[in-house]
C-alpha cells in the first residue's frame, strides 16, 4: 500500500510508552490522590506529606497528572495548588457514588504484573495469574473469602454501572414482566433496570456466598420489594424462569463448551418470545475496530487460558444452534454492547 504522507512513528512510540501513563494513573488511584484531595485545593508539598511520599517525586508525579488532564493546578511553582477535575471528583474520589476506581486498583495490584507474561500466554495458551504460581484460581480464591469477594464485586460495580444504566435506557422492556440477571453479583443490573422500569420483577442469581452482598445493596437501593435473590451454580443448577435473561460480562469468562451450556440454560428458562441479553466489550464482526474488546479477550487468556471474548456474529451463531430465532446488537457505553437473542 502506498501513501502520499511520510511515515510517522508517533503512534508506535505513543503505544510503546503507554504503560508509563497507565502506571501513573493507577498509582494515583491506589495511593488515594483523588480521594485525599476531595473538594480541596492543596499544595504539592502538603498533598505529598498526607500521602507519605518522598519529596523527590512529588512535583513530577502531580505535574504528570496535570499534563495528562487527570488533575488541575492553580498557579506555578511550589505555592501552586492541585485540585480535582470534574471527572476525577466524579469517578475517582471514593466518596462519590459514581466511583470507578476499584477496578483501577485491581488493574494495578493484579493485572499489571500478569500482563508482563503475555508472551508466555501466547506461546502456551495457559493462564498467567495466581494459578501459574501454585495458588488458587481467581474465582476459587474470591469465593472462599467473603470480605475479599465483596471488595472484588465493588471493584466491578463501578465499571459495570454505566453499561447497565445504558441497557435500562436503550432496551425496550415494555413487553416483559420479569428479569433474571445470571451472575448478578451485587444486584446492580437488577437495581438499574428496576429503577427505570417499575413494572418489572427482577431476580439476581449467583452463588449462595454472594446473596448476602446482593441483598445488602438491593436493600440500600430501596428495591427489596421488586428484586429477589436466588442462589445456585449456573453450571449445575437450572436458572430461574424469567421473560428476560441477562448476563453482564459473564460469557467471556468461559471456554466455548461452557458458553454453550449457559446459552442453553438461558434458552430453557425463557418463555417463547423471551430474550437473552449478553453485555460485553463485544468485538466487531470484522475484528478490526474494537481494540478494547480484543485486548479484553487477551486478558481472558491471561486470566483463564481457554476463555475468550467474542463478536456479535459469534453470539448469533451460538444462539442459533440452540434455537433462538432473532438477534440484535445494542451499543451501550464506550466499547461495550448488548448482544440480544430472542426465543
pLDDT 10s digits, 178-209: 999 999 999 999 999 999 999 999 999 999 98
Active site residue 252: yes
The single residue of 41, 252, 261, 292 carrying the catalytic annotation is 252
Tens digit of pLDDT for each residue in 129-155?
888 877 776 666 666 666 667 667 777
Which three cell numbers, joined as nine digits, stand for 46?
502538603
Q: Answer whether 209's CB lies under 8 Å from 143's CB.
A: yes
**pLDDT at position 126:** 95
Which three cell numbers, joined as nine digits, stand for 57?
517525586
The mean of the pLDDT values for the chain is 94
Mean pLDDT of 29-41: 98
Mean pLDDT of 271-300: 97
- 108: DSSP letter: I
Q: Answer whether 298's CB lies under 8 Å from 309's CB.
A: no
Percent of the chain with pLDDT over 90: 85
Q: How many residues does the chain have?
A: 343
Record the pTM: 0.92
Amino acid at each position: 500500500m502506498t501513501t502520499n504522507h511520510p511515515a510517522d512513528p508517533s503512534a508506535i512510540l505513543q503505544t510503546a510508552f503507554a504503560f508509563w501513563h497507565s502506571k501513573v494513573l493507577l498509582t494515583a488511584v491506589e495511593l488515594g490522590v483523588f480521594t485525599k484531595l476531595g473538594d480541596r485545593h492543596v499544595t504539592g508539598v502538603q498533598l505529598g506529606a498526607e500521602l507519605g511520599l518522598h519529596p523527590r517525586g512529588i512535583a513530577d508525579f502531580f505535574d504528570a497528572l496535570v499534563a495528562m488532564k487527570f488533575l488541575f493546578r492553580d498557579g506555578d511553582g511550589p505555592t501552586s495548588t492541585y485540585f480535582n477535575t470534574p471527572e476525577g471528583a466524579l469517578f475517582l474520589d471514593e466518596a462519590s457514588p459514581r466511583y470507578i476506581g476499584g477496578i483501577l486498583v485491581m488493574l494495578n495490584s493484579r493485572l499489571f504484573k500478569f500482563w508482563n507474561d503475555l508472551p508466555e500466554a501466547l506461546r502456551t495458551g495457559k493462564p498467567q495469574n495466581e494459578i501459574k504460581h501454585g495458588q488458587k484460581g481467581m474465582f476459587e480464591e474470591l469465593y472462599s473469602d467473603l470480605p475479599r469477594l465483596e471488595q472484588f464485586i465493588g471493584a466491578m460495580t463501578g465499571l459495570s454501572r454505566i453499561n447497565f444504566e445504558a441497557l435500562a435506557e436503550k432496551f425496550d422492556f415494555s413487553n416483559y414482566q420479569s428479569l433474571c440477571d445470571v451472575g448478578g453479583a451485587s444486584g446492580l443490573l437488577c437495581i438499574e433496570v428496576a429503577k427505570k422500569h417499575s413494572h418489572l420483577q427482577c431476580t439476581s442469581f449467583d452463588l449462595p456466598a454472594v446473596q448476602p452482598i446482593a441483598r445488602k445493596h438491593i436493600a440500600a437501593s430501596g428495591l427489596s420489594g421488586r428484586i429477589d435473590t436466588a442462589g445456585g451454580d449456573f453450571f449445575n443448577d437450572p436458572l430461574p424462569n424469567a421473560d428476560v435473561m441477562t448476563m453482564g460480562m459473564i460469557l467471556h469468562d468461559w471456554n466455548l463448551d461452557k458458553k454453550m451450556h449457559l446459552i442453553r440454560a438461558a434458552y430453557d428458562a425463557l418463555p417463547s418470545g423471551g430474550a437473552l441479553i449478553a453485555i460485553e466489550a463485544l468485538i466487531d464482526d470484522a475484528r478490526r475496530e474494537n481494540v478494547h474488546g480484543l485486548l479484553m479477550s487477551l486478558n481472558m487468556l491471561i486470566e483463564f487460558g481457554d476463555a475468550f471474548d467474542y463478536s456479535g456474529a459469534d453470539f448469533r451463531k451460538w444462539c442459533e444452534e440452540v434455537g433462538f430465532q432473532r438477534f440484535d446488537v445494542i451499543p451501550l457505553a464506550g466499547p461495550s454492547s448488548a448482544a440480544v437473542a430472542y426465543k
